[in-house]
Amino acid sequence: MADNVVTLRGGRRLENGEPNESCVRELERLLDAARAGEITGIAGTYKHQNGIVSFSFAGAIGGFAMIGGLEGLKHELLERSLGGK
C-alpha cells in the first residue's frame, strides 16, 4: 500500500496483519507495569483486524474507581469519534 494513505483521523492505515506499533508499545508498557505489581487489574476493549470488537477483564477489577476509569475512557473515545480531538 502507498505510504501516503491515511485514515480520516490522520493515522496511517494498516494492512491486515500488520502490527500497530503504538498498540504494541502500550501493551508492553502495561505488561511491564503488571509484572512490577503496579497494575493489579485490567479491563479493556479491543478492535481486531476484521473490524470485530471484543473485551476482557482480569485481576482486581471490583469497585467504583474502575467504573470511573471506564467512563473517562468512554468520554475520550466519544470526543475522538465526534472529531473533538
- What is the DSSP secondary-structure string of 11-45? SBPPPTT---HHHHHHHHHHHHHHHTTS--EEEEE
pLDDT at 73: 95
Q: Using CA atoms, how far apart are residues 38 and 78, in angstroms rounded to an integer?
A: 28
Confidence grade of residue 7 (pLDDT, cut at 50, 70, 90) = low
Cell numbers linked to 59? 485481576
pLDDT at 84: 76
pLDDT at 55: 97
Distance of alpha carbon 74 from the chain centroid: 11
Averaged pLDDT for residues 16-42: 95
pLDDT at 74: 96
Residue 62 has pLDDT above 80, yes or no: yes
Is the separation of the CB atoms in 69 and 51 below 8 Å? no
Q: Where are the domains of the chain?
A: 1-39, 41-85
Coil, strand or helix: which one is 21? helix
